[in-house]
């Protein structure tokens, strides 16, 4: 239609040239600064070179927004991530990344030696930024925080310190450490332990290997040998069985749960007497808490996971 | 078939009953003594599944499988299963002979150096011990080459006591009354067994009631004692059985003793010059007169001097050991009913009443005038809970500790708990007035000490049952696991087969 006349071809060439100019501008990296500086010269240049087909393309002079005589047509958001849905979070993340990039070369300490920090829990952080932050992305942010926190405390720059402070829970949860338990004046160490629905309290005194549970001998309470062995296992694995007397009180749950609750309580009480035994006992698996509880029954299931039998019709 | 018993160990071999073996199982071909599962068994064939849609031209209705007629073998004859259940095996030819194991004798039963070691029971004595039913079926005698018992602190005390009564000295003619308690597996029954064995070595007369429960569960006949006392009952068959036990076990002693007084209740059947064995056999042959015969035998054995006219050949009577194992069954209403269909209290049975009356101190002469020992044990496994009996035991312990019955801290029965007055009265024995008679005591058996436990576990190792290095640490661990050396638990730990793969 319009293409058929030679005049039309000339017009088409002109429009192609214009789009090329525009495209090259779009492909240059956008930053708030360059945006602010570049836009006006392009416009002016375009005006100037409107008819100069053969002349070279020149960079546009900066736009001076301060000298705008009129307000822009729409309000420009403060954060470039405004349209991402979670701009504050992304700003924080970018800020942290830039801080990390800046101080990445500083020496670090091992994770165990870094000071313990109480970062925001996910829910708290969501409340803090007021945006729906996905779990996984928040985990990545925590990773950056932890990496920053590993910078040697002696060399920690103020900038990093102040940045990390933003993400700390208020109230300093790790500030007041519990007083390490000690043996009381009668030589008793106390430990508490839980397993399944049982909870046990153990009083451990130096002695010759007697074990009493709820005021009865261990044989009366645990007729099964396996349970008796698991009760005495913390003492057995440290070969302290003939050096302490155990007085345990256990409530709730079944036989196995009670036995293993005593195991945990006994290990903790033994740590009060001899803290040096911790590595041995950790390897023996008596310090690690088994936090598993009974899984709840779900609607539509027969038990927690079991589904009703499939019936064809 | 080769007999599984060793002729040298076993003195009494009855013709074995028809071998009752479990039916041969076809599937597992592994030897039956293996504790591991059969690993390489052929995988079980999958059953042809019945679910799924019916095939073409197949019936849709449920098909019932016809049961194959089970081949019924003849049921075992009467008493055979019970005999198998009650069988007592005292020897295991596969166990190793323990070298240097001593036999219990009158010399070494007071030897404190033997504490913690295992003393064998002399083989000739096993017949006697079997006769008085000293062994129980569930005890682990069958895992060792020959029966033996540990010498623990209580055993040595018992040995010294029995030795003192038997020998000439200041302790001669003394008597003691003890109620033995303790947790389950603490060795109460074996303590009685040790007492019996020591009594047999010292030529005492031993009366036992191995199963007090049998007297009150209405499994033996009973009859009113006489028309004058219709509320008292005798159990003739049980009495005859006890006479039979006593005669078999104490034959040598009773043979040498003769009648020393008139027995008007027996009329003419008790003749002068009869031995006590013959007297007792009267009751075995005719259970109808078993109770008068038992009373006559008891009065003969507790006689200190002959009646006039019977002076010829009177020998002083030996001390006596009386044991009852499982006392609490006697502390409640029995299963027997009176003519009015009222329950009969166990204390109204003459048999029970006789043995409980021995706990009371005698008025002019002691309950056991020739000395001796009453050992009444409680049971921890077959044990009806009787509140008044528990209170009575607490009262005995308090009285033994020197507490007066009128003291405020003296344990009393709760007035609202309907305690049985008869039970509390039965154990309410005042301090005896006669010097040689001991006060009723409560002896609580606890665990072994570590040294005794070590000796016991070494015995397991030397019998080839235990393949461990027996050192103090290992013994200490087992001692703790056994609740402070409770011997029954130690035995379970020692005989536990450890499968190492």
pLDDT tens digits, B244-293: 999 999 999 999 999 998 888 888 888 888 899 999 999 999 999 999 99
Q: Are residues B365 and B457 in the same domain?
A: no
Chain B partners within 8 Å of A236 (Cβ): 477
pLDDT the model gives residue A41: 47
Q: Are residues B387 and B473 in the same domain?
A: no
**How far apart, in whole angstroms, are the C-alpha atoms of residue A113 and residue A93?**
25
- Torsion of Cα atoms, B393 then B397 then B400 then B404, to 10°: -90
Find the CB nearest B484 among A210, A229, A232: A210
Report CA torsion sign: A147, A150, A155, A157. Answer: positive
Q: Are residues B231 and B304 in the same domain?
A: yes
Ramachandran category for residue A216: left, alpha or beta (phi over 0 → left; psi -120 to 50 → alpha): beta
- Angle between the N-to-C axes of helices B290-301 and B276-285, in degrees from 0 to 180, rounded to the nearest 10: 160
Q: Is A172 on the interface with B (CB under 8 A)?
A: no
Q: Are residues B313 and B243 in the same domain?
A: yes
Contact B183 A232 (CB under 8 A): no
Give the bridge partners for B207, in sequence order: B322
Count CB neighbours of B253 within 10 A.
19
Contact B481 A232 (CB under 8 A): yes
Q: Is A210 on the interface with B (CB under 8 A)?
A: yes
Find the CB nearest A209 among B184, B480, B489: B480
Residues making up chain A, counted from first to last: 313
Find the CB nearest B480 among A225, A232, A239: A232
Chain A partners within 8 Å of B477 (Cβ): 232, 236, 241-242
What lies within 8 Å, CB to CB, of B191 at 6+ separation is: B154, B155, B158, B180, B375, B377, B445
What is the mean predicted confidence (pLDDT) over A239-247? 94
- Collect all residues from B whose CB is shorter than 8 A from any CB in A: 183-185, 472-473, 476-477, 479-484, 486, 489, 492-493, 496
Contact B480 A225 (CB under 8 A): no
Strand order in B372-377's β-sheet? B205-209, B320-325, B372-377, B175-182, B437-445
Encoded tokens for A105: 């070369």
CA closest to A226 among chain B residues? B481
pLDDT beyond 70 at A12: no
Contact A242 B493 (CB under 8 A): no
Asked if the structure places residue B28 within a domain, the reply is: no
Chain B partners within 8 Å of A217 (Cβ): 183, 483-484, 486
Ramachandran category for residue A35: left, alpha or beta (phi over 0 → left; psi -120 to 50 → alpha): alpha
Number of domains in chain B: 2
Q: Are residues B215 and B274 in the same domain?
A: yes
Q: Which helix (H) or strand (E) holds A144?
A: helix A135-149
Chain B partners within 8 Å of A241 (Cβ): 473, 476-477, 480
pLDDT the model gives residue B498: 62
- Residue for token pair 């009952």: B233
CA closest to B492 among chain A residues? A225
Domain span including residue B476: 450-495
What CA–CA distances, in Å, run from B397 to A305, B372, B422?
57, 21, 18
**How far apart, in whole angstroms, are the C-alpha atoms of residue A115 and residue A156?**
12
**A-B C-beta contacts closer than 8 Å:** 44
Find the CB nearest B183 among A209, A211, A220: A220
Please state the domain extents for chain A.
Answer: 2-67, 84-166, 189-284
Q: What is the pLDDT of residues A218-228, one digit of tens each?
A: 999 999 999 99
DSSP code of B348? G
User: Most B CBs within 10 Å: which of A209, A217, A219, as the mutation test of the B interface?
Assistant: A219
Cα distance from B57 to chain A (closest Cα, Å)? Answer: 20
Considering only CA atoms, which of B445, B333, B311, B326 is closest in space to residue B381?
B326
Across all residues in chain A, what is the average pLDDT?
A: 84
**How far apart, in whole angstroms, are the C-alpha atoms of residue A4 and residue A1?**
6
pLDDT the model gives residue A37: 44
pLDDT the model gives residue A251: 96
Encoded tokens for B15: 């013709």
Contact A218 B486 (CB under 8 A): no
Q: What is the pLDDT of residues A40-71, one digit of tens each?
A: 444 444 455 555 555 678 888 887 777 766 77
Write the DSSP string, B253-264: HHHT-B--S--G
CB B93 within 8 A of CB B145: yes
Find the CB nearest B476 among A209, A217, A225: A209
Half-sphere exposure of A99 (CA within 13 A, CB side): 23
Q: Is A88 on the interface with B (CB under 8 A)?
A: no
Q: Strands B148-150 and B233-234, how do they pair?
A: unpaired
Q: Which range has the worst mean pLDDT, A61-65, A119-123, A128-132, B73-77?
A: A61-65
Encoded tokens for A137: 């992305």
State which fold the A189-284 domain adopts: Ribosomal Protein S5; domain 2 (3.30.230)
Report CA torsion sign: B120, B122, B123, B126. Answer: negative
Q: Are residues B184 and B321 in the same domain?
A: yes
Measured at the CA of B383, the angle between CA B382 and CA B388, to 5 degrees, comes to 170
Measured at the CA of A15, the angle between CA A11 and CA A21, to 5 degrees, comes to 145
**How far apart, in whole angstroms, are the C-alpha atoms of residue B365 and residue B357?**
14
**How far apart, in whole angstroms, are the C-alpha atoms of residue B295 and residue B228?**
18
Chain B partners within 8 Å of A230 (Cβ): none
Q: What is the pLDDT of residues A139-176, one digit of tens each?
A: 999 999 999 999 999 999 999 999 999 999 988 788 77
pTM for the predicted model, two decimal places: 0.74
Encode burial over A84-122: b for 16+ CB neighbours within 10 A, e otherwise: eebbebbbbbeebeebbeebeeeeeeeeeebeebebbee
Interface of A with B in 228-247 (CB under 8 A): 228-229, 232, 236, 239, 241-242
CA closest to B184 among chain A residues? A220
Contact B477 A236 (CB under 8 A): yes
pLDDT the model gives residue B438: 87
Q: Is A217 on the interface with B (CB under 8 A)?
A: yes
Chain A partners within 8 Å of B483 (Cβ): 211, 217-220
pLDDT the model gives residue B328: 93
**For chain A, how big is the Rg over CA atoms in Å?**
35
Give B347: exposed, middle or buried? Use CB within 10 Å, 0-12, 13-18, 19+.
buried
Find the CB nearest A239 among B473, B492, B493: B473
Count CB neighbours of B491 within 10 A.
20
**How far apart, in whole angstroms, are the C-alpha atoms of residue B449 and residue B485?**
7
3-state SS, residue A75: coil
Considering only CA atoms, which of A72, A70, A63 is closest in space to residue A36?
A63
Chain A partners within 8 Å of B480 (Cβ): 209-211, 218, 232, 241-242
The tens-digit pLDDT sequence of chain B (501 residues) is 455 545 555 444 455 555 555 555 455 455 566 555 555 666 666 655 556 666 777 777 777 788 888 888 888 999 999 999 999 999 999 999 999 899 999 999 999 999 999 999 999 999 999 999 999 998 989 999 999 999 999 999 999 999 999 988 888 889 999 999 999 999 999 999 999 999 999 999 999 999 999 999 999 999 999 888 889 999 999 999 999 999 999 999 999 999 998 888 888 888 888 899 999 999 999 999 999 999 999 999 999 888 887 877 788 999 999 999 999 999 999 999 999 999 999 999 999 999 999 998 877 788 899 999 999 999 999 999 999 999 999 999 999 998 988 899 999 999 999 999 999 999 988 788 888 888 899 999 999 999 999 999 999 999 999 888 899 999 999 999 999 999 999 999 988 766 554
What CA–CA distances, in Å, run from B442 to B151, B374, B466?
20, 12, 35
Find the CB nearest B483 among A217, A229, A236: A217
CA closest to B381 among chain A residues? A220
Contact B481 A209 (CB under 8 A): no
Asked if the structure places residue B115 within a domain, the reply is: yes
Chain B partners within 8 Å of A239 (Cβ): 473
Q: Which helix (H) or strand (E) holds B198?
A: helix B188-201
Q: Are residues B457 and B424 in the same domain?
A: no
Q: Are residues B473 and B392 in the same domain?
A: no
pLDDT beyond 70 at A2: no
Contact A209 B183 (CB under 8 A): no
pLDDT the model gives residue B29: 52
Considering only CA atoms, which of B77, B374, B82 is closest in space to residue B214?
B82
Contact B484 A217 (CB under 8 A): yes
What is the rounded end-to-end Cα distance, in angstroms, of chain A?
A: 67
Q: Are residues B308 and B359 in the same domain?
A: yes
Cα distance from A204 to chain B (closest Cα, Å)? Answer: 15
Count CB neighbours of A132 within 10 A.
9
Cα distance from A291 to chain B (closest Cα, Å)? Answer: 27
Asked if the structure places residue B65 within a domain, the reply is: no
Give A288: exposed, middle or buried? Use CB within 10 Å, 0-12, 13-18, 19+.
exposed
Contact A219 B185 (CB under 8 A): yes
CB A243 within 8 A of CB A223: no
ipTM higher than threshold 0.95: no
Q: Which helix (H) or strand (E) holds A98?
A: helix A87-103
Cα distance from B128 to chain A (closest Cα, Å)? Answer: 34
Chain B partners within 8 Å of A219 (Cβ): 183-185, 482-483, 486, 489
Chain A partners within 8 Å of B489 (Cβ): 219
3-state SS, residue A296: coil
Give B160: exposed, middle or buried? Use CB within 10 Å, 0-12, 13-18, 19+.
middle
Cα distance from B273 to chain A (closest Cα, Å)? Answer: 56
pLDDT beyond 60 at A1: no
User: Most B CBs within 10 Å: which of A204, A207, A208, A209, as the mutation test of the B interface?
Assistant: A209
CB B391 within 8 A of CB B200: no
Q: Are residues B373 and B426 in the same domain?
A: yes
Contact A217 B183 (CB under 8 A): yes
Considering only CA atoms, which of A161, A162, A173, A180 is closest in space to residue A116?
A173
Q: Are residues B166 and B115 in the same domain?
A: yes
Q: Are residues B261 and B112 in the same domain?
A: yes
């Amino acid at each position: 239609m319009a293409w058929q006349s030679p005049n039309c071809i000339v017009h088409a060439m002109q429009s192609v040239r214009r789009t090329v100019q525009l495209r090259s501008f779009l492909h240059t990296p956008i930053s708030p600064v360059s945006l602010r500086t570049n836009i006006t010269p392009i416009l002016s240049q375009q005006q100037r070179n409107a008819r100069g087909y053969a002349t070279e393309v020149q960079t546009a002079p900066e736009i001076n927004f301060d000298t705008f005589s009129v307000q822009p047509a729409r309000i420009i958001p403060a954060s470039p991530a405004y349209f991402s849905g979670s701009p504050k979070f992304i700003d924080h993340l970018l800020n942290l990344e830039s801080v990390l990039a800046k101080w990445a070369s500083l020496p670090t300490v091992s994770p165990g030696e870094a000071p313990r920090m109480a970062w925001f829990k996910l829910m708290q952080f969501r409340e803090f930024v007021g945006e729906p932050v996905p779990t996984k992305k928040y985990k990545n942010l925590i990773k950056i925080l932890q990496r920053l926190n590993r910078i040697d405390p002696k060399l920690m720059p103020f900038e990093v310190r102040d940045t990390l402070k933003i993400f700390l829970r208020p109230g300093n949860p790790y500030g007041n450490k519990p007083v390490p338990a000690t043996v009381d004046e009668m030589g008793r160490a106390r430990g508490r332990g839980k397993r399944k629905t049982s909870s046990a309290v153990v009083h451990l005194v130096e002695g010759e290997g007697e074990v009493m549970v709820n005021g009865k001998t261990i044989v009366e309470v645990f007729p099964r040998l396996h349970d008796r062995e698991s009760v005495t296992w913390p003492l057995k694995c440290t070969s302290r069985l003939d050096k302490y007397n155990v007085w345990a009180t256990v409530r709730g749950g079944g036989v196995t749960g009670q036995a293993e609750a005593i195991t945990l309580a006994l290990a903790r009480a033994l740590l009060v007497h001899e803290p040096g035994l911790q590595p041995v006992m950790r390897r023996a698996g008596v310090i690690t808490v088994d936090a598993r509880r009974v899984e709840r029954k779900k609607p539509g299931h027969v038990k927690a996971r079991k589904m009703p039998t499939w019936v064809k019709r | 078939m080769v007999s599984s018993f060793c002729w040298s160990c076993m003195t009494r071999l009855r013709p074995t009953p028809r071998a009752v073996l479990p039916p041969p199982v076809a599937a597992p071909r592994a030897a039956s003594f293996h504790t591991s599962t059969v690993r390489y068994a052929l995988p079980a064939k999958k059953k042809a599944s019945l679910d799924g849609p019916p095939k073409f031209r197949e019936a849709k209705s449920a098909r019932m499988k016809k049961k194959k007629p089970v081949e019924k073998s003849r049921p075992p004859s009467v008493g055979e299963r019970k005999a198998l259940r009650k069988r007592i095996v005292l020897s295991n030819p596969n166990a190793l002979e323990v070298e240097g194991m001593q036999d219990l004798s009158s010399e070494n039963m007071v030897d404190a150096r033997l504490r913690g070691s295992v003393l064998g029971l002399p083989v000739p004595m096993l017949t006697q011990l079997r006769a008085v039913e000293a062994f129980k079926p569930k005890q682990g005698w069958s895992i060792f080459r020959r029966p033996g018992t540990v010498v623990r602190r209580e055993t040595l005390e018992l040995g010294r006591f029995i030795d003192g009564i038997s020998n000439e000295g200041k302790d001669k003619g003394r008597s003691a009354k003890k109620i033995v308690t303790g947790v389950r597996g603490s060795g109460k029954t074996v303590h009685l067994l040790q007492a019996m064995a020591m009594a047999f070595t010292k030529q005492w007369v031993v009366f036992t009631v191995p199963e007090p429960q049998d007297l009150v569960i209405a499994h033996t006949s009973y009859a009113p004692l006489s028309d004058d006392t219709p509320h008292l009952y005798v159990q003739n068959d049980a009495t005859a059985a006890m006479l039979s036990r006593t005669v078999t076990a104490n034959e040598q002693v009773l043979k040498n003793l003769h009648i020393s007084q008139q027995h008007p209740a027996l009329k003419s059947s008790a003749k002068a010059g009869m031995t006590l064995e013959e007297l007792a056999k009267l009751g075995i042959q005719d259970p109808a007169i078993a109770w008068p015969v038992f009373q006559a035998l008891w009065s003969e054995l507790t006689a200190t001097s002959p009646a006039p006219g019977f002076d010829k050949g009177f020998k002083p009577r030996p001390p006596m050991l009386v044991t009852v194992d499982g006392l609490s069954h006697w502390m409640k209403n029995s299963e027997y009913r009176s003519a009015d269909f009222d329950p009969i209290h166990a204390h109204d049975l003459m048999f029970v009443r006789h043995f409980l009356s021995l706990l009371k101190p005698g008025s002019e002469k002691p309950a056991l005038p020739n000395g001796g020992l009453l050992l009444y044990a409680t049971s921890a496994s077959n044990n009806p809970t009787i509140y008044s009996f528990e209170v009575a035991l607490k009262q005995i312990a308090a009285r033994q500790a020197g507490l007066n019955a009128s003291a405020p801290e003296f344990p009393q029965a709760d007035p609202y708990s309907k305690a049985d007055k008869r039970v509390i009265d039965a154990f309410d024995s005042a301090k005896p007035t006669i010097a040689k008679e001991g006060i009723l005591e409560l002896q609580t058996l606890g665990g072994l000490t570590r040294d005794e436990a070590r000796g016991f576990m070494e015995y397991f190792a030397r019998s080839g049952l235990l393949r461990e290095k027996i050192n103090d640490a290992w013994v200490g661990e087992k001692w703790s696991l056994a609740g402070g050396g409770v011997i029954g638990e130690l035995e379970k730990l020692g005989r536990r087969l450890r499968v190492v793969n």
